Amino acid sequence: MANSSTPFHKILYMTFAAFPSTAAHSVNVIKMCEALARLGYKLTLTAYAREKEKDIFKFYRIKYPFDIKRIRLSNVRFIGRISFLIKAYYSVQKNTPDLLYTRDIFNGFLAKILKLPFVLEIHELPHNPFRKWILKQILSSDHLELLVLISEKLKEFLKSEMGNLFDSHKYLIAHDGVNLKDFDLKLARTEIRKILDLPEKAFIAGYIGGLFEGRGLEVILKLSTLLKDVIFVIVGGEGKYLASFNEKVKELKLNNLIAKGFVPYEMIPFYLRASDILLMPYQTRVLHRQKKHDTASYMSPLKMFEYMASGRPIISSDIKVLKEVLTDRDNALLANPEEIDEWVEAVALLKREAAVGENLGNKARKDVEKYSWDERARNIMESI
């Protein structure tokens, strides 16, 4: 139920994200909207929606629907942003929300101009002088109710860059989340593999996510070359990224690597549960799609929580920010992203000792319960 002590019952979530989309941030937005609606808040999502509500809800496995205000945009990025803000302005005037919620600084700036109470989620550092100026204007607003930051490391960086402006506002560390029920599949692993047309008796190492720089696909290619008795299943990627990856697989003649490309979100739990182990080989430099800035030092990857929810053992890069959630030999195995021998040893250990993997997977599943979308939404609203 909505927090009865808050004056904010009617929430407008405003985002530039497109729906449906292959991007992970669209999952964050749509699942947070569902969680807020399920908690009793009257939620409207204003976004670039390509399809009707019912199709979007089906795509993301949304069980608790909410209103979506669809905005059409120009294909030109800058013009599209300006067009969105103009249309969003009229949407605010029409809906008269108690609170605007966003993870985009330009929407936050609009809330400041309109003197509308707002919550700003920050998932990345401002990467140019103009964005830094915008964020400083936002932090000078009396209408900013709460900053939501996705990691302790991001807080440290922002505090260092913004100084007293940062200290003048309430903030909450809220890592990404997961809907645990999405991963409660009743089918046996062998049945799932039949559905997905995967080898039933093979030892499968799975990877879910983008094929962008810094995701560690080079680690997986090396492992595929060295471990011929393991089948590597890569789910994600499209367009030129998938074509480039497939070309590398072809050049290396890797018969033990299956690249599935993008699959609908509803199929992600199936691929995770079909795997024996899950790989998260982030590098020390991680870039977003079509962006040049590095998020490796403060990220909170959505896939980490989805991996944990699947109950399958995880091998992850030993990167400081990931250790805010993962602990070596407790709920995951951590390996140096630049030392392939550590990855080979970790895979061999889990292949050899199934009990070790089962214990790691069970602990991860238990630990991820506190990162549910509902719990995240509740903590945010109670922190305002």
Both 78 and 199 in one domain: the answer is: no
Whether 35 is in a domain gets the answer yes
The CATH number of whichever domain residue 41 belongs to comes to 3.40.50.2000
Q: Are 304 and 176 in contact (CB under 8 A)?
A: yes
CA distance between the termini of the chain: 16
Identify the pLDDT of residue 307.
98
Distances (CA, A) of 223 to 198, 220, 260, 348: 19, 5, 18, 11
Contacts 24+ apart (CB under 8 A), 111-118: 111/141, 111/143, 112/137, 112/138, 112/141, 112/143, 112/144, 114/89, 115/143, 116/92, 116/143, 117/8, 117/143, 117/145, 118/143, 118/144, 118/145
Question: Hey, is 108 helix, strand or coil?
Answer: helix
Neighbours of 323 (CB within 10 A): 13
Tokens of 245: 């990856």
Pair (349, 315) in one structural domain:
yes
Tokens of residue 222, six digits = 């090396």
For residue 37, is it within any domain?
Answer: yes
Looking at residue 76, its pLDDT comes to: 44
Same domain, 131 and 201: no
Is residue 364 located within the same domain as residue 252? yes
> Does one domain contain both 120 and 257?
no
Assess whether the previous peptide bond of 20 is cis (omega < 30° from 0). Answer: yes
Asked if residue 14 is part of any domain, the answer here is yes
What's the CA gap between 314 and 335, in Å, rounded? 11
Find the domain containing 160 and state its range: 10-179+372-383
Torsion of CA 304, 305, 306, 312, to 10 degrees: 80
* Same domain assignment for residues 207 and 119: no
Q: Cα angle at 270 between 269 and 273, to 5 degrees?
A: 80
Q: Are residues 106 and 191 in the same domain?
A: no
Q: Kindly give the confidence (pLDDT) of every residue in the chain, 384 residues in length, as a single tens digit, with 9 standing for 90 and above.
A: 566 566 789 999 999 888 888 888 999 999 999 999 999 999 999 887 666 777 889 999 999 999 998 876 555 455 566 777 777 767 777 778 999 999 999 999 989 999 999 999 999 999 889 999 999 999 999 999 999 999 999 999 999 999 889 988 899 999 999 999 999 999 999 999 999 999 999 999 999 999 988 999 999 999 999 999 999 999 999 999 999 999 999 999 999 999 999 999 999 999 999 999 999 999 988 876 555 678 889 999 999 999 999 999 999 999 999 999 999 999 999 999 999 999 999 999 999 999 999 999 999 999 999 999 999 999 999 999
pLDDT at res. 84: 73
Same domain, 308 and 348: yes
Q: Round to whole Å and give the CA distance between 108 and 105.
A: 5
Chain segment 88-108, per-residue pLDDT in tens? 767 777 778 999 999 999 999
Count of structural domains within the chain: 2
For strands 10-19 and 171-173, give the pairing. Answer: unpaired
- Specify whether the CB–CB gap between 269 and 185 falls below 8 A: yes
- Which H or E element spans position 173? strand 171-173
Instruction: State pTM to two decimals.
Output: 0.92
Question: Does residue 4 form part of some domain?
Answer: no
